[in-house]
Structure 1
Amino acid sequence: MTLTTLLTGGSFFEGPRWHQGHWWVSDFYRGQVLQVSTSGEETVVLEVPTQPSGSGRLPDGSLVVVSMTDQRLLRWDGSELATYAALAPYCGGLLNDLVVDAAGHVFVGDFGFDLMGGGAPGPATLKRVDPDGTITVVAEDLLFPNGMVITEDGSTLLVGETLGNRYTAFDLAADGSLSNRRVWAEFGPAPTGTTTEEVLGQLVIAPDGCTGDAEGHVWAADAVGGRAVRIAPGGSVVDEVRAPDGLGVFACALGGDDGRTLLLCAAPDFLEHNRRPVREAVLLTTEVAVPHAGRP
């Protein structure tokens, strides 16, 4: 596949989404939520100095975005930015990625431990924030819950476990409740170890930011493989897009007018002390055969 550079000059791009003719993406260390045109024109929509990450749209069209370091969800209605939910009591690490279902339930995960500070890897929870503001822990013992996909029919939530070598699936009910937890895709045994380096060395695929397609497959950034992979139910890799030499891929999204443009968030690595002072992150695009479906 041919890769085209859409945008350069980022610190660390994450949480890519397609919405109304534009890409939306967070840049961690510039503290910005950006709108990016298909020709690569960048517009700063929000300043989030507490590190923005995953985002989604509520039923009224407003944007909800993760504020990582203070573990909040923020809501932007087009003019005002306000706290939507305070999740610090439910987190063991930085708040991270999210997905919003059709009824406005927000599912959001956290790191589970102090990744950048060298903490010992540990399990994390998945939180649900309801439209009335109620916060519920809906799943425990997830190994770095990260990118998520809700299938096109709205019946299934897929959660990528970046440090778990797998995707975990749940049946998703209309009221936002989860049931029938199961492994949707398994790439290798669940890693063991007391350091991030030990765990990373056991990962076959480290699913990061991801997106669903119309055949029920998932395109996922492989945070340790320098690529995005198209995963079939069960875990087979049926396609891949490799980043240029020296770059890793840490999130991806399907969009464009026909849903067949695959956007990659790429950078040399994910380490804060390396990424914060420089502007080496890029957005790359390529075209794929099967269009987007589901959420985000």
Structure 2
Amino acid sequence: MTRTLTTLHRRGHFFESGRWRDGRWWVSDFYAGAVYSITPDGDVTTELAVPHWPSGLGWLPDGSLLVVSMGDRRVLRRAPGGDVSVHADLAEYCEGLANDMVVTADGHAYVGSMGYEWDEARPQKAVLVHISPDGTTALASDEVTFPNGGSILSDGVTLVVADTFGSEALAWTIRPDGTLVDRRIWADLGVAMKIDAGGQIVGLPAAGLDGCAVDPHDRIWMADGVGRRALLIAEGGEIVDEVAAPEGLSVYSCALGGPNGTTLMLCCSPDHLPTPRQAAAESVIVTVEL
């Protein structure tokens, strides 16, 4: 299906972690060190400066904004009144960078990690960390190679997390205390990333699943940075729909929202690497009506 992409905002360094909240789009820009909100007409507000690279976004029940600070492995909390504090410290669990995050309606947060620093060529197995509403941290799962974008399904107790290197989406059931049980493969898209005996990447995954958003039928839109598109995936792995990125760009996050809830927002960039992205403001945010 041919669809028209509309540019919402351009000249970012690396847009990620798209969300829809309070009538605005919200995104992190890793290498600009800032969190932005953007109206559907494209008016931009800088919401928070995060010097150590912002990533995952979410909100507590009281309206506090949570932001993953990747480099120092923390989650920051901006209270409704504007005060900023450290909500949680993840350094005990994350050997590499902290990354994306999803927050439940009652304030339990799940943060993925990358298992390596940007300048390392040897990815290691990463972890998923649970943060209770009071900021207490615990290991949620170490059975995922690269936990990335996360979604909560409509039942409120099913967590689905993209495994970027595994080319699959994993699911868990959330207990009332926030712990995870019943790990299972929610969708398998094929070949996982290939890494040789020396730890070097020698083959890309079939789909580099990343930031995601649940549709009204509990299917999930997932960014595919390898395939340069966003995929609508049903449980079991069926690809129901897809939207291609603009020419020369890949999709690293997506969100559903807009005034009618039918707008798909895509965070697009030529790549995700620090050196070229810090040097050039080539990332864009586009929208498409579904």
TM-score class, shorter = over 0.9
Matched position secondary structure for 2:276: helix
Runs in 1 of length 4+ with deviation above 4 angstroms? none
Contact 1:103 1:174 in 2 (8 A): no
How many residues of Structure 1 are paired with residues of Structure 2 in the alignment? 285
Residue among 81, 86, 91 paired with 2:89: 86
Percent identical among aligned pairs is 47
- For 2:214 and 2:253, how far apart are their aligned partners in 1? 13
Q: Partner residue of 2:243?
A: 241
Matched position secondary structure for 2:122: coil
Q: Partner residue of 2:194?
A: 192
- For 2:241 and 2:87, how far apart are their aligned partners in 1? 38
Q: Partner residue of 1:152?
A: 154
Are 1:98 and 2:101 counterparts?
Answer: yes
Contact 2:122 2:201 in 1 (8 A): no
Matched letter for residue 273 of structure 1: T
Contact 2:215 2:221 in 1 (8 A): yes
* Displacement after TM superposition at 1:44 (Å): 0.7
Contact 2:194 2:201 in 1 (8 A): no
Matched letter for residue 276 of structure 1: Q
Q: Partner residue of 1:12?
A: 14
Q: Partner residue of 1:25?
A: 27
Matched position secondary structure for 1:276: helix
* Displacement after TM superposition at 1:233 (Å): 0.7
Contact 1:254 1:260 in 2 (8 A): yes
TM-score normalized with structure 1 length: 0.94
TM-score normalized with structure 2 length: 0.95
Contact 1:118 1:196 in 2 (8 A): no
Q: Which runs of 5+ in 2 are unaligned?
A: none
Q: Deviation string for 1:99-146 (max 9, x for gaps)?
A: 1112211110110122x2133122111111112222110100311100
Matched letter for residue 206 of structure 1: G
* Displacement after TM superposition at 1:25 (Å): 0.7
* Displacement after TM superposition at 1:152 (Å): 1.1
* Displacement after TM superposition at 1:196 (Å): 5.6
Matched letter for residue 226 of structure 2: V
- For 1:177 and 1:59, how far apart are their aligned partners in 2? 19
Q: Partner residue of 1:293?
A: none
- For 2:110 and 2:280, how far apart are their aligned partners in 1? 31
> How large is the RMSD of aligned CA atoms in angstroms?
1.2
